[in-house]
Structure 1
Amino acid sequence: MKAAAQFRSTMNRTIRTFFDDRGYTEVDTPSLSPTLIPEATIENFSTRFENPFMPSTDLYLIPSPEIYMKQLIANGFGSIYQISHCFRNSEQLGHIHNPEFSMLEYYTMDADEQDSIRITEELLTSLLDPSAPEDLKPPFARITVEKAMKHFTGIDLGQHQRQASLANEARKLGLSVPDEPESWEETFNRIFLTFVEPNLPQDKPLVLERYPSQIECLAKQDGWYRKRWELYIRGIEIANCYDEERDERVISDYYASEYAKLIQNRSESGSVIPDTDPDLATTFARMPQCSGVAIGLDRLQMVLMGKSDLQGVILFPLSDMLNSGYTRNL
Structure 2
Amino acid sequence: MNYKSKNQLVLQNLFELRKVHSVTERLSSGRVFFIENQMGLCDATGAIWPIGMSEYLNQSSLNQGDLITFRCKILKLNENSESKYDDCYFIKVTEILQKTNSLEEWNNAVIPSPIPSKDFILKQQRENDKTQISYFYHSPTSTRLKLIKQRNRSLERVHSFFKNRGFLCIETPTLVPSGGMEVYLNPFSTNYTDHRGQKWELQLPTSPEFALKKIMTEGTDKIFQLSRAYRNIGEVSKQHEPEFIMLEWYRANANLRTLIEDTQNLVLVLSEFLGTHLDIPKQWPVFRVDKLFKDILSIDLEQVQNRDLFYEKAKSHSHSIVESDDWDSLFYKLFMEKIEPFLTQQKACFVTHFPIQMGALAAQETSLNSNNEIILKPYVERMEAYINGIEICNGYFELNDAHVLKERFQKTKAIRSELKSDLQFENAMKFGLPPCSGNALGIDRVISLLLGLEQISNLYPIPFLSQFPKESVAWE
**Do these two structures clear the TM 0.5 threshold for a shared fold by scoring above it?**
yes
| 8 A Cα contact 1:124 1:137, kept in partner | no
Q: Does 1:81 align with 2:219?
A: no
Task: Write the letter of the residue equivalent to 1:248.
Answer: A
| 8 A Cα contact 1:95 1:309, kept in partner | yes
Q: Does 1:143 align with 2:297?
A: no
For residue 213 of structure 1, what is the aligned residue in structure 2?
356
Q: Hey, which of these two has a bigger chunk of helix by percent?
A: 1
Following the alignment from structure 1 to structure 2, what is the Cα–Cα distance between the partners of residues 250 and 125?
Answer: 36
Q: Does 1:53 align with 2:207?
A: no
Select 2:452's aligned residue among 306, 317, 323: 306
**Deviation >4 Å, runs of 4+:** 130-134
| 8 A Cα contact 1:37 1:255, kept in partner | no
Stretch of structure 1 that moved more, 239-248 or 30-39 = 30-39
| 8 A Cα contact 2:276 2:451, kept in partner | no
Report the Cα offset of residue 200 of structure 1.
1.2
Following the alignment from structure 2 to structure 1, what is the Cα–Cα distance between the partners of residues 247 and 342?
Answer: 27
Q: Residues 137, 3 of structure 1: CA spacing in aligned structure 2 closer, same or farther, 3 A cutoff? A: farther
Task: Write the letter of the residue equivalent to 1:158.
Answer: E
Stretch of structure 1 that moved more, 35-44 or 16-25 = 35-44
1:276 aligned counterpart, secondary structure: coil
Report the Cα offset of residue 279 of structure 1.
4.7
Superimposed CA distance per residue, residues 107-151 of structure 1 (whole angstroms, 9 cap, x where no aligned partner): 011101111111112212221228645632332121111222233
Q: How many residues align?
A: 316
Q: Does 1:228 align with 2:382?
A: yes
For residue 317 of structure 2, what is the aligned residue in structure 1?
173
For residue 308 of structure 2, what is the aligned residue in structure 1?
164
The structure whose RCO (Cα within 8 Å, separation 6+) is larger is: 1
Report the Cα offset of residue 208 of structure 1.
0.6
Question: Cα RMSD over matched residues?
Answer: 2.2
For residue 321 of structure 1, what is the aligned residue in structure 2?
467
Q: Does 1:297 align with 2:443?
A: yes
Following the alignment from structure 1 to structure 2, what is the Cα–Cα distance between the partners of residues 188 and 315?
Answer: 38
| 8 A Cα contact 2:385 2:393, kept in partner | yes
In the TM superposition, 1:98-137 aligns within 5 A as 98-129=241-272, 132-133=276-277, 135-137=279-281
TM-score, with structure 2 as normaliser: 0.63
For residue 281 of structure 1, what is the aligned residue in structure 2?
426
Following the alignment from structure 1 to structure 2, what is the Cα–Cα distance between the partners of residues 155 and 274?
Answer: 33
Task: Write the letter of the residue equivalent to 1:238.
Answer: I
2:219 aligned counterpart, secondary structure: coil
Superimposed CA distance per residue, residues 71-112 of structure 1 (whole angstroms, 9 cap, x where no aligned partner): 011112221000011001102421111111111000011101
1:175 aligned counterpart, secondary structure: coil
Gaps of 5+ in 2: 1-143, 366-376, 472-476
Gaps of 5+ in 1: 264-272, 326-330
1:128 aligned counterpart, secondary structure: helix
Report the Cα offset of residue 189 of structure 1.
0.8
Superimposed CA distance per residue, residues 16-41 of structure 1 (whole angstroms, 9 cap, x where no aligned partner): 11111111100000011133442222
Select 1:3's aligned residue among 146, 169, 193: 146
Q: Does 1:28 align with 2:171?
A: yes
Stretch of structure 1 that moved more, 114-123 or 242-251 = 114-123
